[in-house]
Amino acid sequence: MERMDALDTVKEWQRQGKRVVFTNGCFDILHAGHVGYLAEARRLGDRLIVGLNSDASVRRLKGPLRPVCSEADRAAVLSSLEAVSAVTVFDEDTPEELIGLLLPDILVKGADWPVEKIAGAKAVLEHGGSVLNVPLLEGRSTSGIIEKVIEAYGGRPCCGTP
Domains of the chain in start order, with CATH, are 3-153 (3.40.50.620)
pLDDT in tens, 64-90: 999 999 999 999 999 999 999 999 999
Cα distances from 53 to residues 12, 43, 128, in angstroms, run: 24, 23, 26
Does residue 70 contact residue 55 with C-beta atoms inside 8 Å?
yes
For the whole model, what pTM was predicted? 0.90
d(CA 34, CA 37): 5
Provide the edge-to-edge strand list for the sheet that holds 86-90.
86-90, 47-53, 20-25, 106-110, 130-134
d(CA 129, CA 152): 45
pLDDT in tens, 92-125: 999 999 999 999 999 999 888 888 899 999 999 9
Indicate the SS3 state at residue 133.
strand
